[in-house]
Amino acid sequence: MNIYFHELRSYRKNTIIWVLSVGAATVMFLSMFTIYYESAGELVRLFQAFPDAILKAFGMDVAKIATLPGFYSFILGFLVLCGAIQAMNLGISALGREATGKTADFLLTKPVTRTQVITAKLLAVLTHLAVSSAVFLLVASASAFSVSAGGFDYGTFLMMTLSFFYVQLIFAALGFLVSVIVPKIKSVLPVSLSTVFGFYIVGMVGAALNDDRIYYLSPFKYFDPAYIAQYSAYQPQYAAVGAAVVILAVAAGYLIYKNKDIHAV
């Protein structure tokens, strides 16, 4: 438990910054819905001038952009992108900091097993992600109710918002696996940014080409906000892949870390 609480304190400042940033962005984006709603006709004509591939790449449904679910599905893609970066940072830091800080050998001299170390660190990461997602849900819900003129289906809205947490879990698991495989990561942010944006671009390409097979290569499409807004459901095949990625990445991380050599310094 000492490791768990230590990790909670270590990530506290980072999480507060991310929560405030994403919360502020959420309020700002949703506050713009009133403008979209009041200028629906002009905006539809404007967006119709864009190539269809561009609109699909950004998950924009022109016919629904002036409705709250349609508008939210559009901006949610950018908010999930921010959440994925935060999760990847936390996942890589879970064990990566021990290598770069040269404290792994010291930690493993304590009366704890490697499994206990990993579990405590992952639980701390999960706690911070859960707190971040809970705050995001509260802020998004409050903002949506404040700008909604005619009400909306909160069940669908909730499903869309929870995709923020699900995608975070996937990237946290991938970050954890990276931290185990890569010996020393001097700077977490460049690795996180390149990985997250790489997957995001893959998802945009799949949407632009209207090729569902490419979606399997991008976690951002496993819980596609545009699909959820339209059908009020998740796509089970992609949700299953997302769950499999989390399970396999965490299991592989455990297995590799339990058997790898930890170099003393």
Closest CA to 138 of 26, 17, 232: 26
The alpha-carbon radius of gyration of the chain (Å, integer) is: 20
For residue 21, the SS3 value is: helix
d(CA 224, CA 72): 12
The gap from C-alpha 42 to its chain's centroid, in whole angstroms, comes to: 33
- Quote the pLDDT of residue 265: 47
- Quote the pLDDT of residue 235: 94
Task: Write 2-9 long-range contacts (CB < 8 A, 24+).
Answer: 3/107, 3/112, 3/116, 3/117, 3/120, 3/121, 3/124, 4/120, 4/121, 4/123, 4/124, 7/94, 7/120, 7/121, 7/124, 7/125, 8/124, 8/127, 8/128
- Quote the pLDDT of residue 95: 77
- Quote the pLDDT of residue 207: 87
- Quote the pLDDT of residue 140: 95
Q: Is the dihedral of CA 236, 237, 239, 240 positive or negative?
A: positive
Q: Which DSSP category does 219 fall into?
A: G
And the tokens for 82? 């921010």
And the tokens for 74? 């559009």
Cβ pair 239, 95 in contact under 8 A: no
pLDDT in tens, the chain (265 residues): 677 888 888 888 889 999 999 999 999 989 888 877 777 667 777 777 777 777 788 777 766 777 888 889 889 999 999 999 999 999 998 876 655 555 555 455 555 777 888 888 899 999 999 999 999 999 999 999 988 876 788 999 999 999 999 999 999 999 999 988 887 777 888 899 999 999 999 999 988 888 889 999 999 999 998 889 888 999 999 999 999 999 999 999 989 888 775 554 4
The gap from C-alpha 26 to its chain's centroid, in whole angstroms, comes to: 14
